[in-house]
Chains A and B, each alone.
Chain A
Amino acid sequence: MTPEELSKIASAQQETLKKYTHRIHVCVAAGCQSSDADKVKDALSAEVKAQGKEKCCLVKGVGCMGLCSAGPLVSVETGNILYQEVKPEDAKDIISSLDGEPVQRLICPTDIPFFSKQKKIVLENFGKIDPETIADYIAVGGYQALFQALTEMDPPEVINEVLKSGLRGRGGAGYPTGLKWSTVAKADSTRKYVVCNADEGDPGAFMDRSVLESDPHRVIEGMAIAAYATGADQGYIYVRAEYPLAIKRLKNAIKQAERQGLLGHNICNTTFNFNIEIRLGAGAFVCGEETALLASIEGKRGAPRPRPPFPAQSGLWGYPTLINNVETFANIPPILRNGGDWLAAIGTEKSKGTKVFALAGQVKNTGLIEVPMGIPLRQIIFEIGGGVPEGRKFKAVQTGGPSGGCIPEQHLDISTDYESLATVGSIMGSGGMIVMDETSDMVDVAKYFMEFCMSESCGKCTPCRAGTAQMHGLLDRICSGQAETRDLALLEELCDMVRNTSLCGLGQTAPNPVLSTLRYFREEYTMKLTDASAKAAAK
């Protein structure tokens, strides 16, 4: 395919869409699908037929619209109307109202902070394009960034733009993406690989899932650009088998891209070749750790190995390998389109761009949001999230999943960036954000996460395998009122030891939920202790 052919597809698709005076978008991402969005879509299509409006009215499945708690969501793009909690029975009213007044009882206000405070870069196509149609992605400028890189830039220029953008890894650790790319690019090797880490496993996190379900081509484009910049010709997407819809859409997207010559040999009539294969995870959380992920792709047991050597020097089958997270790759096409400086202008000094969060827990508006880095946590929870429902009091927000920590009310005004979150004992993580209200028992929360780490430990290194089991046992004793002060002291010693001696990130961060709840809610622990000195201290 040539750039001319690409723009031909884009304008043809734009023309096709323009023919319809009414374009109705139904969210078909996993959240809305679980509340029967498929049936709503079928009902709407049937109703369009019944009313004989096929020529002027298009019903289209689109990606996540964000406000998952109000799903299934339906938007009438042409009238800028958003409907919430739509049922198949509502189809008739919606279609009949197209030329007149919108259906008041279903309207979801779009001027609320949930929508207005967000800044969408990664999610820009969400709710707009059909994730199963490549032409839809091309019509909104898709694959232009790849063609621009291939025809107008040499690999160092591409890396330079990524470096300039200040983009940091969105998987959690925040390693500078451009630096990683240039390390792989400089590695001297006959083969190189690009790997996309889509093994999203944090409880309550669904950012990567949404991106793959709603805009899979963007990830493919990002990977292809990365492959061009680093000199790789083979890519792998490691996605967990628990995401069947994401896998289906990815497979479909890869097939479409191959058919259009956007993957394969001589892409854009250049010498650049790139293929992508999907590898499915078999349910191990630790396979999100990069060395375990690579072992799993190679068909080995998913256990991490000591670094160095880092995958950028010696990764898949010993070849230099670039591993980035889904959201990181999704950031790449807009960086090339708009330039690195454009992204660098958004966010804080050290954390650039936006971050997608999966807002869940005791908060009114649960769903998928994207905010500029540096926005205060309070704004995310109370303005975008709408605060805690049913008049209950906010207690803490958990970021970073089992590797992260709980942040209490007094620290809610910190800015949401990698460094600030670390100073209060949590981490940015991949973007899970679980809000807890006054009814939550923080020791129980810590126990829950420890149980998760214990059962997800691969068992290779002693501190993580045996240490998490011991810590879980101690937390269980504390929760059931059988522990004394010395048990708490032992728990703290184990936290220190497991954090400092474990082999991989899972073990090194497993104590974080305990440490952060101890830091802010220590009295909840001491209140549960049974010995006299603890009782005295609690008073």
Chain B
Amino acid sequence: MTTQTSIRVKTLVIDGRDVSAREDQTVLQVAREHNIFIPSLCYLEGLHPVGACRLCMIEVKGIPKLQPACVTRIKEGMEVVTRSERIDKYRKMVVELLFAERNHICAVCVSNGRCDLQNMAKALDIDHVGVPYQYPRLNVDATHVRFMADHNRCILCTRCVRVCDEIEGAHTWDIMARGRDSRVITDLNQPWGESESCTSCGKCVHVCPTGALFEKGKSVAEMVKRRQFLPYLTTMRESW
């Protein structure tokens, strides 16, 4: 079943620890294997990394610019620093910017207590948002029979777009407009319920890090996201 490939093993240093890794791995993957915490929101194992949320920025010795760990391939002898005063500050600001950008009101959110954004704020010791809230007016799409899309909670990580395209193969989701007006849409901005390409598989709902995509009938803090299918499907496809 599995084919023998000649992938070389390299060694690198992450936060002063010597670690070994396959040469096709990224810094983020290797760090996670070794229980070194690098925060990220747009990254999800099994989907193509896009380097968009900018939470996983790390320092690599010899490169002046910070690098996103999710798309940085490891190299022999690479020296990585995953935390510093500067990196911690930037990561906090990224999360604060996300909170202020849309209307994240945890107390009334279906994902309260189970939200990746909320957990990230906790992990990074964020106790307040230092930038002004933007309060944009955004709609909720409740046209689908089983699911709902609440743009007030969306952080534009594009996990839904990628899982629908790469795993389900439907490409129902995509992004429209640009900058702060960007929004995830179904088909050509039709209501979700009228989408002809949507297979109602629900993968998008379960990879969504926040309460932006959720199942109908769930009340505050009731939405449990089940992502076991993703590593399973990816592994099955690889070995097939």
Chain B residue with Cβ nearest A502: B54
Given contacts A458-B179, A462-B54, contact A493 B93 (CB under 8 A): yes
B179 touches A470 (CB 8 A): no
Listed stretches B45-53, B106-114, B145-153, B211-219; interface member: B45-53
| B54, B98, B101: the one within 8 Å of A469 (CB) | B101
Minimum C-beta distance from B134 to chain A (A): 7
- B54 to A461, Cβ gap below 8 A? yes
- With beta carbons under 8 angstroms apart, the residue of A460, A493, A501 that contacts B94 is A501
Cβ of A465: which chain B residues have Cβ within 8 Å of it? Answer: 101, 156, 179-180, 182
**Which residues of A lie under 8 Å from residue B156 when comparing CB positions?**
459-460, 462, 465
CB within 8 Å for A470 and B131 given contacts A454-B179, A458-B179 = yes
Residue B57 CB within 8 A of the other chain: yes
Query: A462 near B98 (CB under 8 angstroms)?
Result: yes
Report the minimum CB–CB distance from B23 to chain A (whole Å): 14
Known: A469-B180, A494-B93, A497-B89. Contact between A460 and B131, CB under 8 A? no
Number of residues from B at the complex interface, CB < 8 A = 35
B98, A284: Cβ atoms closer than 8 Å: no
Determine which residue in B50, B97, B181 has the highest number of CB atoms from chain A within 10 A of its CB, and name it: B97
Number of A-B contacts (CB under 8 A): 99
Shortest CB-to-CB span from B34 to chain A, Å, is 23
B68 at the A/B interface (Cβ < 8 Å)? yes
The majority secondary structure among interface residues of chain A is helix
A469–B55 CA distance with the chains assembled, in angstroms? 18
CB–CB B180/A459 < 8 A: yes
Q: Are B179 and A459 in contact (CB under 8 A)?
A: yes
B65 at the interface (CB under 8 A from A): yes
Inter-chain contacts of B179 with A (CB < 8 A): 454-459, 465, 468-469
Q: A532 CA to B178 CA in the complex, in Å?
A: 39
B167 at the interface (CB under 8 A from A): no
Map CB proximity to A onto B28-62 as digits: 1 under 8 Å, 0 otherwise.
00000000000000000000001111110100000
Q: A503 and B93 in contact (CB under 8 A), knowing A458-B179, A459-B180?
A: no
Closest-CB distance, B49 to chain A (whole angstroms): 8
Shortest beta-carbon distance, B53 to chain A, in Å? 6
Considering the complex, give the chain A residue whose CB is closest to the CB of B102. Answer: A466
Residue from A455, A459, A460, A473 in contact with B50 in the complex, judged by beta carbons closer than 8 Å: A460
In Å, the complex CA distance between A228 and B134 comes to: 52
A306, A500, A501: most-surrounded residue (chain B CB, <10 A): A501
CA distance A301 to B184 in the complex (A): 13
A contact residues, total (Cβ < 8 Å): 32
Q: What's the minimum C-beta distance from B121 to chain A, rounded to whole angstroms?
A: 14
User: Could you say which residues of chain A place their CB within 8 Å of the CB of B221?
Assistant: none
- Indicate if the CB atoms of B65 and A466 lie closer than 8 Å: no
List chain B residues, Cβ under 8 A from A462: 52-55, 94, 97-98, 155-156
B201 at the interface (CB under 8 A from A): no
CA distance A459 to B156 in the complex (A): 8
| A residues near B132, Cβ cutoff 8 Å | 470, 473
**Looking at the complex, which one of B52, B68, B134, B178 makes contact with A456 (CB distance below 8 Å)?**
B178
Tell whether A467 is near chain B: CB-to-CB under 8 Å: yes
How many Å lie between the Cα of A306 and that of B86 in the bound state? Answer: 21
A265 interface residue (CB < 8 Å to B): no
Q: How far is the CB of A362 from chain B (nearest CB, A)?
A: 30
B-side contacts of A460, CB under 8 Å: 50, 52, 156
Return chain B residues, CB-CB under 8 Å to A305: 50-51
In the complex, what distance in Å separates the CA atom of A135 from the CA atom of B7? 57
Contact call B97/A306, Cβ cutoff below 8 A: no
Q: Quick one: which of B162-220 are within 8 Å of A by CB?
A: 174-175, 177-182
> Is B178's CB under 8 angstroms from A458's CB?
yes
Residue of A nearest to B174 (CB): A301
Cβ of A468: which chain B residues have Cβ within 8 Å of it? Answer: 179
Cα distance A305–B52 in the bound complex, in angstroms = 9
Verify if B66 is at the interface (C-beta below 8 Å from A).
yes
CA distance A498 to B180 in the complex (A): 15
Please report the C-alpha to C-alpha distance between residue A284 and residue B93 in the assembled complex, in whole angstroms. Answer: 27
Chain B residues positioned under 8 Å from A308 (CB to CB): 73
Q: Which of B52, B66, B181 contacts A461 (CB under 8 A)?
A: B52
Q: Is B100 an interface residue (CB 8 A)?
A: yes
A459 touches B178 (CB 8 A): yes
Does A12 have its Cβ within 8 Å of any Cβ on chain B? no
CB distance from B90 to the nearest CB of A (A): 5
* Alpha-carbon separation in the docked complex, A305 to B50 (Å): 7
**Given A467-B97, A493-B93, are A503 and B131 neighbors across the interface (CB < 8 Å)?**
no
Interface membership of B230, Cβ < 8 A: no
> Does A463 reach chain B (CB closer than 8 Å)?
yes
Check B182–A306 contact: CB distance below 8 A: no
Please state if A459 and B97 are interface contacts (CB–CB under 8 Å).
Answer: no
The verdict on A459 contacting B177 (CB below 8 Å), with A469-B101, A470-B97 known, is: yes
22 pairs, A vs B, C-beta closer than 8 Å:
A284-B178, A301-B175, A305-B51, A455-B178, A457-B178, A457-B180, A458-B178, A458-B182, A459-B178, A459-B179, A462-B52, A463-B54, A463-B94, A465-B180, A466-B100, A466-B101, A466-B180, A490-B131, A493-B93, A494-B131, A500-B86, A502-B54
A-B pairs with the 6 shortest C-beta distances? A459-B182, A466-B97, A306-B51, A457-B179, A466-B101, A469-B180
